Amino acid sequence: MEENKINLPKNISAWTRPDSPRLITSKNIFDYMNGAGELYLGYHFNSLEVYEYKSKDENDILLELYFMESSDDSFGLLSLDWEGETVVFDRSTNKISNSSIVPPVRALYGKGLLRIWSGNLYVRIMAVRDTSTAKDVILQLGKMITTNRQDASPPEMLNVLSPSVAPNWKLRKDRVSYFHSHLILNSLYYLSHKNILRLNHSTEAVFASYERILNSKDRDRIHFLAIKYPDTEKAKQAIDSFHNAYLPEYKQNKPLDSPDGSTKFFKIEDGWLGYRQQNRSIAVVFECPDMESAQAIINQPRLQYLFVDFNVHNPEAKGDVKEINDKED
């Protein structure tokens, strides 16, 4: 495919690569990276091209091009770790808006590793040793790869997150991740070795943290999870599975529940937990210090993006989008 064609130099500074890359697919990915293959197969993975640039001083550079089915999937891989130095290859196109609910970056560098989200392409370029010369070459390769590639927007699923929620809860932009797999969820927030929320490639999920500062040293943190399923029945089955596995000692019907039964709250060992299932979506909030905070997070206006289940790019939905934004204001 033309969109997947990347032209890389055979020689760059003191480094040289073979004529052809090593091609990795879902069939042989575990031969290449053992258990780490689950991370990429957890997204919609197409193929991986591996280039090894070698130099005489043996400070080799490994370049990996992960071709995903969509930009959302490559974004998801970057979103699992927002640590590192921001890299901007083209200041006119390479940034995400500062008003975004995720860090306004598309590439991050740290400890000899450059990671890039560029359309349906996720890139990792790393040196054996983190030297200034190797870093310069890595950044040159990154710029070559991204040049003339069209930038994409973050997944629409992120619209469910509010930058702030009363009282005084602020979204941690560097703790927002997009994914499909329960294995990835467990790496972010461990629930169970089993897939109790029935996540798979047909689902979309966002995990995020909200914080509020108590004083100069202390702060509270809440964890939030939103999931969209293919249909309402699968969402109902998932929330029942979650409740039975995670809250087996608690009855599902309680006085604190919402009148329509869609929202439930529980005081457990690590704080208040709340969940809401409506139409084909689920939202869960963990480790709330009080019920009021759990209610604020689970009922934040932007969750209508999830539960009303409309496309924010649909012109017919503009009135609904404005209503939600007005509520936030």
pLDDT digits over 80-127, tens only?
Answer: 999 999 999 875 545 566 567 898 889 999 999 999 999 999 999 999
The closest of 92, 103, 87, 93 to 139, measured between CA atoms, is: 87
**Alpha-carbon gap, residue 223 to 282, rounded angstroms:** 14
Domains in the chain: how many in total?
Answer: 2
Give the pTM. Answer: 0.89
282 located within any domain = yes
> Do 177 and 107 fall within a single domain?
no
> Do 78 and 176 fall within a single domain?
no
Q: pLDDT per residue over 158-171, tens digit each?
A: 999 999 998 889 99
Taking the CA atoms of 152, 157, 163 and 169 in sequence, report the sign of the dihedral they define: negative
**Alpha-carbon gap, residue 223 to 284, rounded angstroms:** 8
283 located within any domain = yes
* Confidence band, pLDDT 50/70/90 cuts, at residue 176: very high
> Do 174 and 310 fall within a single domain?
yes
> Do 190 and 43 fall within a single domain?
no
What are the E-state strand segments in 103-158?
107-110, 113-118, 121-127
Task: Please tell me the predicted confidence (pLDDT) of residue 324.
Answer: 40
> Do 7 and 68 fall within a single domain?
yes
Give residue 232's domain range.
156-328
**Alpha-carbon gap, residue 316 to 95, rounded angstroms:** 29
> Do 94 and 21 fall within a single domain?
yes
